[in-house]
Amino acid sequence: MFLGFEYMKYRWNAKRRHGVHSPFVYELTDKCFRSSISPLFIERMSTLKSRMKGNKKSIQITDHGVGSKRMGDLRSLGQLYKNSSSKGKYGQMLFQLMQHYNLESALELGTSVGIGSVSMATGNKNAVVTTIEGCPNTRKEALSNFEALGIENIQSLGGTFADVIPTLPESTYDLIFIDGHHDGEAMLRYIKMLLPHSHDDTFWILDDIRWSPSMKAAWEQLQHDEGFHVTIDLFRMGMVLKRPQQEKEHFDILI
């Protein structure tokens, strides 16, 4: 009921590209939410699908967020694939962001079986995608997928977000994708920890902004944060950028 009502509100407010008057957001919508996908991306997603979809192999999950309370600790690879946020149009968006803007570095919090990582790494073969996963068994499956696809520009780090973030190099990322924990206060805390690793044009992608009331509240807080001048609601995901050169504005974009 909660998500159904939220989706109706989102659809009512959401605009397509021709309803967007910001040149930056118009280009973003046109090139990263609408563009065609490369054959290599399609091939890799197809391979992942054949490896993961319906796979009954079960692994013990160590979940440091709130997901285990809803799904249980023993999950099949098919379940992990089914519940991945990075399939379909959102994975295409990650790919297109890396490709169109020629992003050279990305950080992902929450690898799962590696769909988001593969999407970003495929978008720019010269980029370095760093991904953090707290569950050793899940990370092992993701590494197996990276090897099967022959991808060499993904750096996988094991450990909790809170433990690994302080050990990251003193550099910035062009894209930061937070796809784990699913708690609003935790998400805001990770954003604060990662601010020194971002620059004015870093794309922040936040998954499951309507997972729970706390996530929705955190997303609404970010919309009013003066540190982020561009906030974009994509329904399942949210996107924020500092862009101090741009007048502060919020967008609901239909993808």
Structural domain boundaries in the chain:
2-252
User: What φ, ψ does residue 110 adopt, rounded to 5°?
Assistant: 110, 85
pLDDT digits (tens, 9 = 90+) for 5-40: 788 888 877 777 666 889 999 999 999 997 788 999
Q: What's the 3-state SS for 79-119? A: HHHHCCCCCHHHHHHHHHHHHHCCCCEEEEECCCCCHHHHH
- Spatial separation of the C-alpha atoms in residues 34 and 36, rounded to whole Å: 7
Q: Which two tokens stand for residue 162?
A: 């809170």
pLDDT at 63 over 80: no
User: What φ, ψ does residue 252 adopt, rounded to 5°?
Assistant: -110, 110
In one letter, which amino acid is 146?
Answer: F
Q: Is the pTM of this model over 0.75?
A: yes
- Spatial separation of the C-alpha atoms in residues 61 and 111, rounded to whole Å: 13
User: Sign of the C-alpha dihedral, residues 75, 79, 83, 89?
Assistant: positive
Per-chain mean pLDDT for the chain:
92
In one letter, which amino acid is 155?
Answer: Q
pLDDT at 76 over 60: yes
Superfamily, domain 2-252: Vaccinia Virus protein VP39 (3.40.50.150)
| Residue found by looking up tokens 């729970």 in the block | 212
Asked which of 8-17, 104-113, 223-232 is least confident by mean pLDDT, the reply is 8-17
User: What φ, ψ does residue 241 adopt, rounded to 5°?
Assistant: -140, 150
Return the pLDDT at 68.
45
